[in-house]
Amino acid sequence: MTTLLVASTGGHLAELHDLAPRLDVGDDRAWVTFDVPQSRSLLDGEEVIHVPYATSRDLVGAFRDFVVATKLLSRRKVSRIISTGASVAGSFFVPAAARQIACHYIESATRTEHPSVTGRMVARIPGTHLYTQYEAWADRRWRYGGSVFDAYVAEDAPRSTKVGRVVVTLGTHHKYTFPRLLKHLVRTLPPSTEVLWQVGATSIPDMPANARDHVPFTELQEAMDDADVVITHAGVGSALTALRAGKRAIYVPRRKRYDEHVDDHQVAMARELDSRGLVLAREADEITLADLEEAAGWRVSANPLIPQFRLG
């Protein structure tokens, strides 16, 4: 019977995609997510079931997904559901639990200290198996299974004499923007630098001429492959894209006090990945040309000793 891999697009889908080879799910699997460029590129060649888009804390969107989930589970034999969130997890877990289908929820790597709102909600669904990616807050209910970032290691590499190509990605969330970082980079990056700007909904008076609100996932991945340096907001999806490209990104957290995100989980994420040596964490107004040279002097590769993610 089929395993359903369920996730919202963005960081949730990026995490589940990276974790999938470590979950031993086999070939009889189908992905459930939203129909956006990221999912079409990332899941090319896979069976994908598209569901209505639901943003964070979107009750209407979550209900629409619940209706789709109920119909899907009534006509298809499913053995288990694995999800990294967000609300789409609950939309599928509720009807799955009623059918006694095993549900596994892996909390996002962004949650370094405690479960997310979604995590706390699905924990109330009877029979749900719960996993954290941090041993520090594992307990009787939340089991430590490993981290998506265990798959990568960073090592010092011959330093570039010149930083000529840079990728800047501020994420594509339509609600939260990052003008502090964009303003600083426009002032800091030399005019001779070739920059791919993915700015999402962020807008400033002195916008770069070639700024784009969205860059297709495949194009963004290829640009990171070719770049000397990647500068990104501290999102999980952006981090994983840079790591797959072998880059130790300059990783800049959005902060709640500037209305750049709903909370300060990106601050904790930046601290965690910097401690692993996988990113160079910096504040939005602190990035220097020396930081670009520092980031360019490292490469990231696959961990040859990558462990399985242990599902109960």
What are the respective helix, strand and coil percentages of the chain, to the nearest 5?
Answer: 35, 20, 45
Query: Residue 43 has what pLDDT?
Result: 94
From 125, 146, 167, give the residue that closes a domain: 146
CATH number, domain of 223, equals: 3.40.50.2000
258-293 b/e with 16+ CB inside 10 Å = b?
Answer: eebbeeebbbbbbebbbeeebbbbbebeebeeebbb
Q: What is the pTM of this model?
A: 0.88
d(CA 261, CA 64): 25
Residues 6+ apart with CB under 8 A from 44: none
Which carries the bigger pLDDT value, residue 156 or residue 172? 156
Q: What is the mean pLDDT of residues 9-24?
A: 93
Question: Is residue 308, in this structure, part of any structural domain at all?
Answer: no
d(CA 73, CA 95): 8
**Do 170 and 87 fall into the same domain?**
no
**Do 110 and 210 fall into the same domain?**
no
Spatial CA neighbour of 38 closest among 222, 214, 302: 214
Query: Residue 307 has what pLDDT?
Result: 84
Domain assignment of residue 204, given as a range? 153-302
pLDDT tens for each residue of 125-168: 999 999 999 999 999 999 999 999 999 999 988 765 578 999 99
**Do 249 and 140 fall into the same domain?**
no
DSSP E strand stretches across 28-149: 29-33, 48-50, 78-85, 102-106, 129-132, 142-144
Question: Is residue 109, in this structure, part of any structural domain at all?
Answer: yes
Do the beta carbons of residue 224 and residue 299 sit within 8 Å? no
d(CA 245, CA 310): 26
CA distances in angstroms from 80 to 34, 138, 148, 310, listed in the order given: 20, 23, 20, 15
Q: What's the longest Cα–Cα distance across the chain? A: 60
Question: Is residue 307, in this structure, part of any structural domain at all?
Answer: no
Tokens representing residue 1 in the block: 């019977």
Spatial CA neighbour of 243 closest among 299, 283, 297, 292: 299
Tell me how many domains the chain contains.
2
**181 pLDDT above the threshold of 90:** yes
Query: Residue 70 has what pLDDT?
Result: 97
**Do 141 and 158 fall into the same domain?**
no
Question: Is residue 8, in this structure, part of any structural domain at all?
Answer: yes
178-187 b/e with 16+ CB inside 10 Å = b?
Answer: bbbbbbbbbe
Q: Determine which of 46-60, 182-196, 220-234 has the lowest per-residue pLDDT on average.
A: 46-60
Q: Are strands 78-85 and 102-106 parallel, antiparallel or unpaired?
A: parallel
**Do 113 and 174 fall into the same domain?**
no
**Do 54 and 140 fall into the same domain?**
yes
d(CA 91, CA 36): 19
pLDDT tens for each residue of 241-287: 999 999 999 999 999 999 998 888 899 999 999 999 999 999 999 99
**Chain mean pLDDT for the chain:** 93
**Do 192 and 127 fall into the same domain?**
no
Strand, helix or coil at 129? strand
**Do 114 and 221 fall into the same domain?**
no
Strand, helix or coil at 17? helix
Question: Is residue 292, in this structure, part of any structural domain at all?
Answer: yes
**Do 87 and 218 fall into the same domain?**
no
d(CA 19, CA 32): 15
Question: Is residue 310, in this structure, part of any structural domain at all?
Answer: no
pLDDT tens for each residue of 37-87: 889 988 999 999 999 999 777 889 899 999 999 999 999 999 999 999 999
d(CA 245, CA 107): 24
CA torsion sign for 247, 224, 273, 185 is positive
From 95, 128, 146, give the residue that closes a domain: 146
**Do 90 and 173 fall into the same domain?**
no
**Do 138 and 33 fall into the same domain?**
yes
Question: Is residue 309, in this structure, part of any structural domain at all?
Answer: no
From 146, 168, 197, give the residue that closes a domain: 146
**Do 292 and 255 fall into the same domain?**
yes
Query: Residue 161 has what pLDDT?
Result: 58
Question: Is residue 62, in this structure, part of any structural domain at all?
Answer: yes
DSSP-derived letter for residue 114 is: S
